[in-house]
Structure 1
């Protein structure tokens, strides 16, 4: 246990206090409300003939005695319903929808009927293996599913004021507190897939019951202690595996259980589990002031973002184990970069911002959000990426090379393991929570997203209206309304993609250069209602290069404009993107294409294409004549790729110096 320290935390804006009205993001939030959530409801009820069956709702109905049948799906199928309900809770927080609320209430009634008298809730073990609950925590996600249901219960209570699901999850968490611990007859262990840790802190925050915070801390402190819990658990059940016949193979590093969490110095193993674990660690550190946990979070944050993160904000470089591999190992064509992992990184960044408002966390949050997360969903809201590659050649993905089976050149309608689509929905439905935070007398503006916020700042009610031109230009305007003049500070993030900034207050320049704290420009004064602040961020097109230790990108360059990373697609540049070369002195021209993906900025440049004369049919030649032919290269935002059919794509292109 680390030594507690006094720590004033930054309080994020609540959903009821933020209304997003933004030219870019309102489309996605409306899409979640109008298309994604209804589509996913149909998917959960197996109403989409061309998509893989879910059976998730049916599982709950069978467990509740409302239908007959048997369990179908992954052992963690319950979590898809929980994440859907969580997204619904967020949507109802910002806008009433009686029809959607009634659907959710009916589902909650079914869930309550499926719960055991002691509080246990899991349809797989209820229906499939009723005598084996809590016997395979390494593989079977019981606490993971419980965590997602807890998050749903908290979100739905906040969104509607209705306690039924909250009471269900409190009863479930109370049972977990009885089952787990170091006392006689208790299980001194933890789940193979972290999630319960962060969920329990949310439950603590909404109920005020410290038992839930202590239980979260227990799971965090217990992980990685020796002897190995997972080995002892496997021994007790005869080393059987849920996933295959024969003896289970255990690798504690895959579960981040190879060392106590405070001793881990590199992200290793399943990427989603890592960032969910770190989110829970940051939550507990924030609430308890545990400095050793804060230090552990910082250490693993630094390893991820400086050595194991893609330029798109994606994490998890290998398909085997959906995992981190090792420092600077960032292949583009066999990458995993699961959508859920980027969302988990956003969760972690958001928690670190509450501990210490520092722009480095918000920069990464923004990078993952604008690139990997929204790339994971098509513009129609009905097709999704599980894996987010940075280089694609369709015939390779569709061929016999098993190393590329996980890479899809087009988005899929649904998945047998459908964790990513509802994860996108719940994040975008709750986006308002990520925009602002208040610490003392300072309002932190983390994301430049237009809308209105009503914030309490040391007793003063501040209505903040933001107008943003992001991501296409760096102009942001704030208007403040207050009941009476108040002295407070507005902290404006200076993003890592902007070389310079200008700030005016009521049209007059504001000198902030000596008032920068943690990457935020601090605009402090006595404010009156009607005051206007304008922030102008320089937003050049940047040529981004990798650390030389990233061998896959040697001699290559990527383009970034503001928060957006760009890519080349076959639809614009023809096949054979690997032969495209961008001269180092080529002018990068920005223009707006109203027709493409709802309208977006594209980057054009004079380029070269490497070609060979008279190659013939030989595999290798020593007498081939190479030459560089003039070409026009067109780059589009990475998030918009694969909206024009199947074709090649690349983020990194060769650079001719």
Structure 2
């Protein structure tokens, strides 16, 4: 069983520092409506009003309670590895408001306490009561694990117990489920923390009810006289939007709202892991395969359509109108992690890494104060200004959002990053991510510590040192990233010959008697890769993208001037690595010789009977930067995919 992980990494430590010193305090101010120029949150004020400590109307979205809950969860993860009395005091202040806002029967939701009393549990399709409850429970578990303070955990159990009386298969109980999945995975966390089997069973109940007939959403829609909360979305009738079109075991394609899909899959995987339900696990595998093989962007982003923040159909992956919500990639990481815990296969870790190093870190500026909700792969600021079809696409990160789910989601993921690096199954320790730090495990009677020093992100090199209180026969399983073309392994500074039989599901398994002081050195080849999309992706045909190591690269106007669509990269052009002081942690930029189509003058006809050839092309030097760093210098164009000719 893994005991703890502390990260000390040349790339990720700076992001964890940003979360702790900048993002969490900044979000504390935002949640208190004290960030000038940003949309007010109302979130903390809502809790104070519901607690009787303030007066006024409920502000913000119907799901506003989830933002401070995610903030609390991030704080809990930070406090699990570093004590901080000031941060703990801030969290205790928030918890006091939350607990006072909880009703005597355990119910907790500021919107229905303040604004629509008497309408609890009447519009589950739209109003996120169970979603908010799930985030509160997750925040409570994380904070309790960090501090041992029972007030918040007791409040979470009280809320879950209330939900358990309201929902269930018995007469008089609601036999339904929330429109936005979240309670399912939260209840499993509460079960694991308390050992109360009723929470696991309630999670399973919510999953099994989804998509059953007669349709629950229609029934509650009719009971409330046809009233709706979000008239722009016909949620009561568009069952696929919230994955209620079929029972979860029968769903084979990712449909509807992207975040909801992967949160649902995370809950399914959790329940399958705890119950040994092979059919439910197989349903997870089917949805995973559809997402990553037909509906995922190169950056690990998902959800290609602005309407409904949703999936559309196989291979529909437009770069310029992509929605690709940050939360969706975070949810995909949750799903990948749960699948890794069940069956350690590198395909899950490869996707987890792709989403983490690209979309997730792109979702936050390098100073930790501005955020992307949408993560397109191509941006033209003029088009975003003038064409309403691109109104959701932003050329620069925002300070805050009226729907501010993404910033605290980024914070809680990065704060908990240590949970994603390793898993242990019996006497095998799997390394999924190469992130520097110290991890402690217990194998039988042996306490084992792995100290990892990683230059993985910059040059593909990893050094691991093992500390053990006595020799132990165990297996060290090391993931081979899908982008690497060579692997060099040393044990105790001597070359280690790898047998092909040691490669299992994308992991190099090294079994030996490990002793205190043993070292493992890995050197992954980091070629510069030209990526080409599947021929069914209309938007990337005839184009190429660049990747080196875990990073997808892009062109940005700051380096290459405007009119990025005019650039053509020859197939034979050499790609070279160059260091840049603008990049974090020695992550390089990539340069190449390319061509730019000459810009036509105003006197040239809009269309003409001629063909562009090389005589009309100007040779230029172009610079690719890691995708996650774009929009940190100036507002301008950006593109991941570049035209290529042979």
Question: Which of 238, 244, 252 does residue 251 from structure 1 map onto?
Answer: 238
Deviates more, 1:247-256 or 1:419-428: 247-256
User: Matched residue of 1:594: which SS?
Assistant: coil
SS in 1 for 2:202: helix
1:488 aligned residue (474, 496, 503): 474
For 2:289 and 2:531, the matched residues in 1 are separated by 19
Q: Which moved more, 1:169-178 or 1:451-460?
A: 451-460
1:624, CA displacement in angstroms? 7.2
CA shift in 2, pair 1:651/1:246, >3 Å: closer
- Aligned with 1:634 (options 615, 623, 641): 623
8 Å contact 1:338–1:386 — kept in the other structure?
yes
- 1:460 CA drift (Å): 1.3
Match of 1:126 among 103, 113, 126: 113
On the 8 A contact 1:350/1:361 being kept in 2, the answer is yes
Match of 1:534 among 513, 516, 521: 521
Counterpart position of 1:410: 396
Asked whether the 8 Å contact 2:218–2:236 carries over to 1, the reply is: no
The TM-score, its normalising length taken from structure 2, stands at 0.98
Q: Distance in 2 between matches of 1:143 and 1:165?
A: 17
Give CA-to-partner distance per residue, 1:32-70, whole Å, 9 cap, x none.
Answer: 000000000000000012100001000000000111111
The answer to whether the 8 A contact 2:294-2:314 is kept is yes
Tell me, yes or no, if structure 1 residue 427 matches structure 2 residue 413: yes
Counterpart in the other structure of 1:169: 156
- 2:39 maps to 1:52: yes
Check whether the contact 1:18–1:432 (CA below 8 A) recurs between aligned residues: yes
Q: Distance in 2 between matches of 1:209 and 1:198?
A: 15
Distance 1:624 1:311, change over 3 A: closer
Note if contact 1:144-1:194 (Cα within 8 Å) is conserved in structure 2: yes
Q: For the Cα contact (< 8 Å) 1:240–1:247, is it kept in 2?
A: no
How is 1:92-491 mapped onto 2 (pairs within 5 angstroms)?
A: 92-244=79-231, 250-399=237-386, 401-491=387-477
CA distance in 2, matches of 1:444, 1:597: 28
CA contact (8 A) 2:125 2:236 kept: no
Contact 1:597 1:643 in 2 (8 A): no
Q: Distance between the aligned counterparts of 2:5 and 2:185, measured in 1?
A: 23
CA deviation after TM superposition for structure 1 residue 246, in Å:
11
Cα drift, residue 456 of structure 1: 1.0
Q: Call closer, same or farther: CA 1:249–1:488 in 2, change over 3 Å.
A: closer
SS in 2 for 1:546: coil
Give unpaired runs (5+ residues) of structure 2: none
Deviations 1:386-421 (A, max 9, x none): 00000000001111x221110000000000000000
**Partner of residue 648, structure 1:** 637
Correspondence 1:552-591 to 2 at 5 A: 552-591=539-578
Q: Is the 8 A contact 1:613 1:625 kept in 2?
A: no
Conserved? CA contact 1:614–1:624, under 8 Å: no
SS in 1 for 2:370: coil
Q: CA deviation at 1:361?
A: 0.3
Q: 452-461 or 218-227, which moves further after superposition? A: 452-461
Inter-partner Cα distance in structure 1 for 2:388 and 2:232 = 22
Q: 1:8 corresponds to which residue?
A: none
SS at match of 1:456: strand
Q: Deviations 1:122-150 (Å, cap 9, x if unpaired)?
A: 00000000110000000000000000000
**Kept in 1: contact 2:302–2:325 (CA 8 A):** yes
Task: State how far apart, in whole Å, the 2-side matches of 1:244 and 1:516 are.
Answer: 53
- Indicate the RMSD between aligned Cα atoms, in angstroms: 1.3
How far apart are the structure 1 equivalents of 2:422 and 2:74? 20
CA positional deviation for 1:474: 1.1
* In 1: Cα distance, 2:301 partner to 2:149 partner: 36
Paired residues of 2:141 and 2:193 also in contact (CA < 8 A): yes
Deviation string, structure 1 residues 624-655 (Cα, Å, up to 9, x no partner): 76512101110000000001111000000001
For the Cα contact (< 8 Å) 2:471–2:516, is it kept in 1? yes
Give distance in 2, aligned partners of 1:655 and 1:623.
20
Residue of structure 2 in register with 1:77 after alignment: 64
The aligned length equals 643
CA drift at 1:614 = 5.6
What displacement does 1:244 show? 3.5
Q: Shift of residue 167 of structure 1?
A: 0.4
CA–CA distance in 1 between the matches of 2:442 and 2:56? 52
Shift of 1:248: 6.8
SS at match of 1:415: coil
What's the offset of the Cα at 1:360? 0.5
Q: CA deviation at 1:615?
A: 6.1
